Structure 1
């Protein structure tokens, strides 16, 4: 089937000529073979009268399929005029959540359609297709060759690269060679040469990139200028799930192409003598052990986390610790109300480049000091011997089916903290785990939820164990965390909401 013979779907076939008459004359463009291209409210309508073929069943004609179709503006990748021809490239749905680039080419008659009109129409189409998103993004792509059970590079080349090419993106690809390589690349890269850095991996590579930027003298400038995004290539892929709501490589590529530059809260984490950045989560207890303590089960994919959780749940393991925090609110109702108000706000998109205030600036100063300082006097402290789970995060979910924070927002300036006591019993804990996947977890009375500005956790009762930051293991030592509102920049679909949000 040739590219200009894409069959219509049922809804497009119902669009009659009377609909076109209601539109501005400038919204339609006549091209070769009596085809008319019309810009509608949310789609490009291709009115192509030629009949492709009769669809027959038992020798009887059922329907005449035409080449007319409606293409959502979001799926339009590029449009250009070359050698008296109009070339349109768009993301064509293949199966659920999977797309492939496709091309439509139409001859232009300069007598019928003056070049100036055609160029103006193309610009109008691209404005409708991209809105506030940046066109022709300059992308630095880092691929972890061990991600996705070793298939990350193949996934990128087959499903993402063709989409970026069709959209006219400038792409610079590098395969990472060792643990920490992405940190070294980010620390030394020319931040004026790229609009975004893409991590084809799990969540480990974005973590490395952030901390590469953090090591720069102009850290704040780098974090504002260069957006970070993920092409799913690991087992968790939380960044992609949160910002784009999908684990599909091709759909993620489309979302990156149309992605909006979004400020993202980051946190600083200090341990004795160190300071690192985190974008996703910090966990201690059963969640951390279920993630980091099952590395030998990576062949199981995301199921390894469930397996690790259940084995520890049956043993009723608890994790003594002292936790101090600068509290904003512990009312779930207040959190819900604030989130619903936040949803109504206009997305605070970050402009291309950065503001003059951050040019040349490093990381912001720590408002609450480090873990080596005394706990501030206005913080609250909890000492517990029966904690089963501690999870703090900047994003709504930690993987596709684990939704901790339905009231989380990319830039609300707060850290969401969940604590669960280990004395609740196995059956109740199993019920809560099911609720993580199906909704309702947030409303369990046993689930303590707080929104905080900062916190400190001091583990007790052991010489070693698991503490996870963005899925990476850190030393078994006290750590302190504080939020930096809007310090980072990511590409997102909405500009201010997480796509993987659960019920609220």
Structure 2
């Protein structure tokens, strides 16, 4: 029989962390080899017991790498033992690489300290509960993360685009993500989207009270649909507070790469990035996410909300033209870049912006004007049932700051003529998403305010406005960006740059070193709002990688408007 000890042996104490639980168990694979297992507030330590003290091997698992722990009774009715299994995803050295990435490992132990199987199961549940609770408390201390718990289980609606990237999103989900969600005890409903804007329509009409979080597995395009579907609701202020999760299943996966970067992890790609984001999803910390309202000068959809980027010129052309290479995955952008470099274009237009040091951080429904954009960390604990205590906390019960503006207030000036006439009562205000007012913008038919900077150049190779660090998995366009810095990171490249120099800039962008090249053709500014007026008759403008109507456009960042599951 395995021996259970409530009081640990003094040799398993240390001066930093006191041992909370100690036991000696066998494993499911072998009942002949015994292990000493001890649990502290931070670690689970496993030592193989041998006859020689010097032969005791020791492995320490940090609870911050644990997504959950489950206890079950033995499958064999003749086995009186019970089992608890802890699931860890620690960083390990990648095979044939100097980098590290998260890799799965599980630790399963057999509890048989009694002839009564019910007592053994209770003991296994006690261990599972303690490990899960310890894991839930191991959270990174980072400003802007909201710490709290919700009732268990946390219900997740997971939207998956089967055609994103190489068309392998569904197989990647079943092969990697589904098991981890089960290990973390996160129930979910999977919806496979059937057409463009399916997700947008679904979240616009759905009863969001059924779900504690919305998770997207796709490229960045599906999240663009979800964000704008939420902002098109009459109850947008409440709807946009729903925590959003992202699992990379597309080609670019820029937001997923940004989240991974914000967590302080080494760069990874493909399935390793998916595993990293799934792990962060299971840990369930919720941060605020800036959204940028983008106002278009024409077309039926006058106002959009963007979480990633606004692009014109070279970058936008590559994004759209590389669609034909989607079958090669993330490499489509490399191919598209080389093709576009071969016939480099110059784009004419007028660019103006509000410098960050001039503009104020306008309050949104996600931020209080008295906090200057900072977010107080909140720690909330609640009693859990025995059924839920074997899995860590996931979603946050969010502390929301109400907007200082009525949701019916509509001051976005997306269409200059209609907005101006609406103020005189000539026509109804522009239709489209509601959202907070764009207090920094004026109608497009009026000059920009005097405290804006008007760029003297009119010939550009590209204009790129970023609100996250990454433009793609391997392109760190704004390395100093954070999810809620209240900034638009504006980069533009002036005409006259050679193909070789432009290529070197994009190669440097892989490590976020392009600004440090001090190229006279590259300009980088931190801004709060911007306006772009293309003069060229033909061109491409993208928002979050999605093609929008070509013409005048202006944008303003709204601090902490949305919520994102990240750490």
- Class of the TM-score when normalised by the shorter of the 2 chains: 0.7 to 0.9
Distance 1:371 1:234 in 2: 36
Shift of 1:231: 1.3
* Contact 2:322-2:336 within 8 A present in 1 as well: yes
- Tell me how far apart the structure 1 counterparts of residues 112 and 449 of structure 2 sit (CA, whole Å): 71
Native 8 Å contact 2:165 2:326 kept in 1:
no
For the 8 Å contact 1:142–1:176, the answer to whether it is kept is yes
2:113 to 105, 109, 112: 109
Counterpart check, 1:75 vs 2:75: no
* Cα separation, 1, equivalents of 2:21 and 2:115: 16
Alignment of 1:267 with 2:292, yes or no, is yes
Name the CA shift for 1:299/1:490 in 2 (closer, same or farther; >3 Å).
same
Question: Over residues 66-115 of structure 1, what are the superposed CA-to-partner deviations in whole Å (9 max), with x where a residue is unaligned?
Answer: 6x532221332223555573522303569843644735143153799999
Q: Answer yes or no: is 1:126 the counterpart of 2:132.
A: yes
State the Cα distance separating 1:419 from its structure 2 match. Answer: 0.9
Q: For 1:394 and 1:251, how far apart are their aligned partners in 2? A: 21
Map of 1:3 onto structure 2? none
Q: Secondary structure at the match of 1:37?
A: strand
Cα distance in 1 for residues equivalent to 2:461 and 2:377: 37
Question: Which of 204, 212, 232 does residue 248 from structure 2 map onto?
Answer: 232
* TM-score normalised by structure 2 residue count: 0.72
Q: Distance in 1 between matches of 2:340 and 2:455?
A: 23
SS of 1:473 mapped into structure 2? strand
Q: How does 1:386-405 map to 2 (within 5 A)?
A: 386-405=459-478
Structure 2 unpaired stretches of 5+: 1-8, 27-33, 74-80, 95-100, 140-146, 262-267, 359-373, 379-394, 408-433
Report the Cα distance in structure 1 between the residues aligned to 2:239 and 2:445, rounded to whole angstroms.
Answer: 29
1:367 corresponds in structure 2 to: 439
1:90 to 83, 87, 101: 87
Name the stretch that deviates more: 482-491 or 366-375.
366-375
Kindly tell me the number of residue pairs found equivalent between the two proteins. 451
Q: SS in structure 2 opposite 1:316? A: coil
* SS of structure 1 residue aligned to 2:210: coil
Aligned residue number for residue 207 of structure 2? 190
Alpha-carbon distance in 2 for matches of 1:153, 1:115: 36
Q: Structure 1 or 2: larger helix share?
A: 1
Q: Is the 8 A contact 2:349 2:533 kept in 1?
A: yes
Equivalences for 1:142-181 in 2 at 5 Å? 142-181=159-198
What are the superposed Cα offsets for residues 100-132 of structure 1, whole Å, 9 maximum, x if unpaired? Answer: 473514315379999999877655432331225
| Cα distance change of structure 1 residues 402 and 488 upon mapping to structure 2, 3 Å threshold | same
Q: Which residue of 2 aligns with 1:257?
A: 282
Whole-angstrom CA distance in 2 between matches of 1:18 and 1:421: 67
Question: In 1, are the aligned partners of 2:111 and 2:124 still within 8 Å (CA)?
Answer: no
Distance 1:107 1:120, change over 3 A: closer
Q: CA deviation at 1:31?
A: 4.6
Provide the residue aligned with 1:338 in structure 2: none
Determine if contact 2:352/2:455 at 8 Å carries over to the other structure. Answer: yes
The offset of 1:166, in angstroms, is: 1.1
User: Is the Cα–Cα contact under 8 Å of residues 31 and 109 in structure 1 kept in the other structure?
Assistant: no
Change (3 A) 1:24 1:243: closer
Distance across 1 between alignment mates of 2:66 and 2:153: 13
| Displacement of 1:17 | 8.1
1:281 aligns with 2:309: yes
Quickly say closer, same or farther: Cα 1:386–1:357, change in 2 above 3 A: closer
Q: Secondary structure at the match of 1:141?
A: strand
CA distance in 2, matches of 1:103, 1:189: 40
User: Counterpart of 1:293?
Assistant: 321
Alpha-carbon shift at residue 37 of structure 1 (Å): 2.6
Alpha-carbon shift at residue 460 of structure 1 (Å): 0.9
**436, 443, 461: which one pairs with 2:509?**
436
- SS of equivalent residue, structure 2 residue 455: strand
Q: 1:410 to 1:356 in 2, by over 3 A?
A: closer
- Any stretches of 5+ residues in structure 1 without a counterpart? 1-15, 52-62, 331-344, 494-504
Tell which deviates more after alignment, 188-197 or 480-489. 188-197
Q: SS at 1:482's partner residue? A: strand
Q: Take 1:78 and 1:367, find their aligned partners in 2: how far apart are those partners?
A: 45
Q: 1:181 and 1:209 mapped to 2: Cα distance?
A: 9
Inter-partner Cα distance in structure 2 for 1:29 and 1:90: 19
Are 2:434 and 1:417 aligned? no
Deviations 1:360-416 (A, max 9, x none): 956211213465452333222225332111110110111122111122111111111
Shift of 1:200: 1.0
1:25 and 1:41 map into 2 onto residues whose CA distance is 8
For residues 402-481 of structure 1, the aligned pairs below 5 Å read: 402-445=475-518, 446=520, 447-462=522-537, 464-481=538-555
Quote how far apart the aligned CAs of 1:38 are.
1.9
| SS at 1:150 equivalent | coil
Q: Report which of the two has the higher share of strand.
A: 1
Contact 1:397 1:403 in 2 (8 A): yes
Rounded Cα–Cα distance in structure 2 between residues aligned with 1:213 and 1:424: 41
Q: Does 1:36 align with 2:36?
A: yes
Higher deviation after alignment, 38-47 or 419-428: 38-47
- Do the aligned partners of residues 105 and 117 (structure 1) sit closer, same or farther apart at CA in structure 2, a change above 3 Å counting? closer
* Residue 209, structure 1, aligned to residue 226, structure 2: yes
CA contact (8 A) 1:293 1:466 kept: no
Give 3-state SS (helix, strand or coil) of 2:351's partner: strand
Match of 2:335 in 1: 307
- 1-structure distance, mates of 2:188, 2:295: 35
